[in-house]
Amino acid sequence: MVFKKVKKSFSKLFGSPNEEPEYIEIDLGQEVKKSKIIVRPFILKKFEDVNIILNSLREGYTIAVIDIKPLKSKDIIELKRAIAKIKKTTDALEGSIAGFGENIIIVTPSFAEIYKAGKIEDIEKRKIE
């Protein structure tokens, strides 16, 4: 008798063995993450444009090619602030940042590295050859 009461109580909580268990359908397609790498050009016209660049970098799939010429010709102090902010975020994300020419900056996520000519290792390799 006691066993039947316990069984009945548990069957109310967990469902009886004769009933089909209830399932909740979960749509896994909702959280589709990007798997492709995007090389995205940006133009830095004002300091506030940095936020758009940083948001793209934080996603982790963007290689940013940033034209700094418009801000450079307008306000060099704002340009330095913008580059410092980009560099700080890049370092936090363990990415790479490098200048290309006078007006272009390239920023990559952690899985990519920018080739920088003139590294000590490169000079050593050239001496050996």
Average pLDDT estimate for 7-35: 59
Higher pLDDT, 4 or 42: 42
Render the burial of 1-35: b for 16+ CB within 10 Å, e for the rest: eeeeeeeeeeeeeeeeeeeeeeeeeeeeeeeeeee
Q: Is the pTM of this model over 0.95?
A: no
pLDDT of 126 > 80? The answer is no
- Is 122 within a domain? no
- 61 falls within a domain: yes
- For residue 50, being part of any structural domain is answered with yes
Range of the domain at 42: 36-113
Answer whether residue 61 shows pLDDT above 60: yes
Closest by alpha carbon to 97, among 112, 110, 108? 108
Residue 10 counted as domain residue: no
Average pLDDT over every residue of 96-124: 81
What is the number of structural domains in the chain? 1
- The verdict on residue 8 lying in a domain is no
The residue behind tokens 């290792």 is 121
Find the range with the poorest average confidence among 14-18, 72-76, 86-90, 113-117.
14-18
Quick check: is 27 in a domain?
no
Judge whether 24 lies within some domain: no
Q: Which residues of 60-98 are buried (b: 16+ CB within 10 A; e: fewer)?
A: eebbbbbebbebbeeeeebbeebbeebeebbeebebbbe
pLDDT at 83 over 90: yes
Q: In this prediction, what percent of the chain has a pLDDT beyond 90?
A: 50
Give the CATH number for residue 57: 3.30.110.150
The reply to whether 101 falls in a domain is yes
